Amino acid sequence: MSTDLHTLSGAYALNALSAEEAEQFQRHLEACPACTQEVRELQQAAAQMGASEEISPPTYLKAKVLAAADRTPQLPPQVTRGNVIHVPRHRWSAILLTAAAAVVLIVAGVVGVNQLGGGGPGEQQDLLAEGVVRVFQAEDAHTATMETANGGKISVATSPELGEMAVDTDELPPLDDEHDYQIWAIHDDTYAPVGVVEREKGAAMDMPDPETVVAITIEPRGGSEQPTTEPIMQVNPSEV
């Protein structure tokens, strides 16, 4: 870790960084568990200092706050870190390009499935997980949970601000060893493979353009170049 960044933990816990610096430091925290722990402890010390002078607010404020809360929906719970895989940003545009040019579609599709099969160990995996968490946690997240044709549920989150979408596939029925769930982008009636998704994980990706529908099918293990079964769900991300 950079010593220079690390020493910002105090200023960060005091909210004494500029917006850009705070954002930079937050990204640093994602890759530095020791720093995250230190920041938590320093935030706790700061919070205790902040709570040391209690003043009762005017009584009418309580009714106002409770009434406002009553009108305000709560955010959906977040998908926990490490519970998801990520379709990197550049992959999605590649998929859409291939969907438009059907000739290269199959080649790109095979590459896509292979790339997604593993998810990648270690640091990469952690960084990838952050992507999905970010979408579900986004301030402007739209989420929808839908039932699938095979009796499961799937949650979709989109964030216009991030320009990304994510799916949580944890509530899909488990498959046997011979089959996988596979995500597709449907564009002008052409299916482009996005990748195989492990049920207990999930996926995040850039928002496709408005005419593109995202679908999931059950395919032989490892995925197919073109769908071999009917989709168990389809969603137009721009309508979530």
Partner 1 sequence: MPEPELRLVSQGPPDVDDLMRRASRGDSQAFEALYDELSPAVYGLARRVVRDPARAEDVTQEVFLDVWRKATRFDVERGKAKTWVMTIAHRRAVDAVRRSEAQKRQDHQGAPEEVSHDEPADALIAAEEHGAVRDCLETLTELQLESVRLAYFNGYTYGEVATLLDKPLPTIKTRMRDGLIRLRDCLEGAR
Residues that bind partner 1 (CB under 8 A): 7-11, 13-18, 40-58, 61-62, 64-66, 68-70, 72-78, 137
Q: In this complex, which beta carbon is closest to partner 1, that of residue 27 or of residue 64?
A: 64
Say if residues 161 and 139 touch (Cβ distance below 8 Å): yes
Q: In this complex, which beta carbon is closest to partner 1, that of residue 52 or of residue 210?
A: 52
> Least distance from C-beta 8 to partner 1, angstroms?
6
Say if residues 143 and 98 touch (Cβ distance below 8 Å): no
> Least distance from C-beta 157 to partner 1, angstroms?
13
Q: In this complex, which beta carbon is closest to partner 1, that of residue 43 or of residue 150?
A: 43
Q: In this complex, which beta carbon is closest to partner 1, that of residue 22 or of residue 149?
A: 22
Task: Name residue 203's beta-bridge partners.
Answer: 167
Phi, psi (rounded to 5 degrees) for 210: -60, -25
Phi, psi (rounded to 5 degrees) for 54: -90, 135
> Least distance from C-beta 1 to partner 1, angstroms?
14
CA pair distance 178, 77, nearest whole angstrom:
32
Q: What is the dihedral of CA 20, 26, 31, 32, to 10 degrees?
A: 120
> Least distance from C-beta 167 to partner 1, angstroms?
19
